[in-house]
Amino acid sequence: MKIEYKNRTLENVIIALNCIAIGVVTMTFVMLFGFDIPPLPRMMLRYIDGGLFFFFFTEKVLRYFNAASKRDYFRMYWFEIPLLAIVLFAIVGAGRWYTGSSPREFAMDAVSIYLAFQVIDKLCRGIVNLAATGHNPARSLIAMFVVLILSGAGLLMLPKAHNLESMSFTNAVFTATSATCVTGLTVMDTGNSFSFFGEVVILFLIQLGGLGIVIFGAVLGMMLGQSFTVRESAAMQDLLSADTLNRIARMIGFIFIATLVIEAVGAVLLYPMWDNVPGIIEGVRQKWWASVFHSVSAFCNAGFSLMEPNMTDYSHCHQVYTIVAPLIILGGLGFSVLYNLTDIGICRVGSWFRKDICMPDLLYTKAPKRLTLQTKIVLTVSAILIVGGMLLLKLFESYSNNPAADTRWCSAYFQSVSARTAGFNSVDVGALSQGSKLVLILLMCIGGSPGSTAGGFKTTTLAVIMMVAWATLRRRREVEMFKRSVRLVVLGRAITILALYVGVLLTATLALTITEHNCSCDLLDLAFEASSALGTVGLSTGITASLTTAGKWIIITTMLIGRLGPLTLLTALLFSTRPGKYEYPSEPLVVG
């Protein structure tokens, strides 16, 4: 929904002042919460925040009187009245009802929360509008990811964000890129090297990068009452791969609700696990934080862990296999698949309710829900990869003659699941056999499914490529899956994605052989590292921290390409390319 204003000049001035205010809020927050001793007096920064609070309040009043439709304005900013009421209640009542040691600090913290909400709201609305401009959305997406990475790196370099004497720019960018691209490769121990503030920044980057910053902006915009125009809906349709425009709002709402519910349930179920290994995570607060952190990291397929050896110390805990692994699988299925499965489940429950309790079938004429072709392909290929990877890992480790090999079925199952872009490990990956590492590379390259938090060239791409080969062997003109034909444009897209993916992987591996020529690692380890970065997985044989500065930047670039997708980068470069208006005559060609 777009609000029309009477005085456009006044609105342009307000927009410019908002941009300045967002910058000032960011700087005051950095100085307040990023330094042990702020560069400016703390009370001065608090007074600046108070002035910004007054500015945002005045801005809303001016826009209300300048709006052509007061009703549309209230629909757009319905949340402002209750939010302001809560903040004013906290400010006025801080000295009366708050029993803490500093009521003034409590009131100022309430103002800070309000300012943070204002900044997030305005940035998210701006993101949606930017994505809907139609000026090469792929480039806009790339630019927003780069800005998010650099902002995260700047926050991680603040003194209060880490426990080190200093943090290099390369390591900060590497960590921010790994978190934003939900990869999980680390050059330092997350739990020991970063403070609580730094861990919160990493978790925030994981959540934004996992859901996609544009989708996150659309979700918040929809929650706050912003209806989508046709152009905005078309942009969201392209990002979510939705069939029709009228499903966009429902799909975005489902993404937000499903993410919150799944991650919350995962955090609650993970809480008892930390008691199994004493001395690592202690105290109620640390246990809840660890539960939330690992639940979000698992569902977003990030692979970040607060423990130095990742999940190896908890490899005997059933929660690793019964909670973390399902979270990884759900995150890798794709929101369109989860939406389809949820829709079918609701339809079945509603049908049972009508049939057996209150309503006869004669009064219900809506067609029953069914599994879409993408859902069938994703579930089938995912099951085959999980089971096949588990069997191969079990086979290679059982016959590796390695005394340190973990030959348990549960370990093989977890690594088969985690290799498909999650990055958690319950065993020492560097100690695995050569055959097992090769299996993990293949799983990392395939990755998860479209529209998910996972990377790789995707399960549907693999299915299409395999069915093209099968149709060729059977001399069939049409590629068929589950009694459905696949369009030619989809076949071309799948082949293009695979070709670009293999090209980027070989280029990254070759570049690492040049920069890491003094390293003791072999070619398989370098290929493993490149595959993990491009597939946004996070598994490593243990060479990440020892990479040269040039090698780290190669991995940073590879992680960003893997998160965005090679095809997205190609689209960004060729967005304005016009198709040819003529065709050349065909001629037979022998291949193979």
Q: What is the mean pLDDT of the chain?
A: 81
Which tokens sit at 506? 């070989």
Query: With pLDDT > 90 as the criterion, what percentage of the chain qualifies?
Result: 19
Query: With pLDDT > 70 as the criterion, what percentage of the chain qualifies?
Result: 82
| CA distances in angstroms from 525 to 438, 442, 540, listed in the order given | 10, 14, 8
Cβ neighbours, 10 Å, residue 127: 21
**C-alpha R_g of the chain:** 26
| Ramachandran sector of residue 578 (left: φ over 0; alpha: ψ -120 to 50; beta: rest) | beta
Which tokens sit at 204? 């925030």
pLDDT at 195 over 80: yes
pLDDT at 586 over 80: no
pLDDT tens, residue by residue, 511-554: 999 998 887 788 888 999 999 999 888 888 888 888 899 999 99
User: How does 483-503 read in b/e, with b if 16+ C-beta sit within 10 Å?
Assistant: eeebeeeebeebeebbebbee
pLDDT tens, residue by residue, 404-450: 677 788 888 999 999 888 888 888 888 888 888 999 999 999 988 88
Token pair 């490529």: residue: 465
The domain limits of the chain are: 1-130
Identify the CA nearest to 214 among candidates 141, 284, 155.
141
Token pair 């861990």: residue: 199
CB 533 within 8 A of CB 181: no
- Please tell me the pTM assigned to this model: 0.83
Write the DSSP string, 555-574.
HHHHHHHHHH-HHHHHHHHH
Lowest model confidence (mean pLDDT) among 103-117, 261-275, 308-322, 546-560: 103-117
pLDDT tens, residue by residue, 302-336: 888 888 778 888 888 888 899 999 999 998 888 88
**What is the DSSP secondary structure assignment for residue 40, as one 8-state letter?**
S
Mean pLDDT of the 267-275 span: 90
Confidence of residue 365 (pLDDT cuts 50, 70, 90): very low
Paired sense of beta strands 484-485 and 480-481, if any: antiparallel
CB 178 within 8 A of CB 184: yes
SS3 194: strand
pLDDT tens, residue by residue, 375-385: 899 999 999 99
Looking at per-residue pLDDT, the higher value among 191 and 220 belongs to: 191
Which tokens sit at 161? 């964000």
The highest-confidence range among 213-222, 479-488, 494-503, by mean pLDDT, is 494-503
SS3 485: strand
Distance CA 47, CA 260 (A): 35
- Specify the pLDDT at position 203: 92
The highest-confidence range among 139-153, 204-218, 549-563, by mean pLDDT, is 549-563
What does the longest C-alpha to C-alpha distance in the chain come to? 87
- Specify the pLDDT at position 148: 87
- Specify the pLDDT at position 363: 44
Confidence of residue 343 (pLDDT cuts 50, 70, 90): confident
Identify the CA nearest to 177 among candidates 511, 526, 538.
538
Mean pLDDT of the 107-125 span: 80
**What is the DSSP secondary structure assignment for residue 314, as one 8-state letter?**
G
194 pairs with which residues across the strands?
Answer: 162
What are the helix (H) ranges across 272-372? 284-299, 318-319, 325-333, 335-353
Mean pLDDT of the 479-503 span: 85
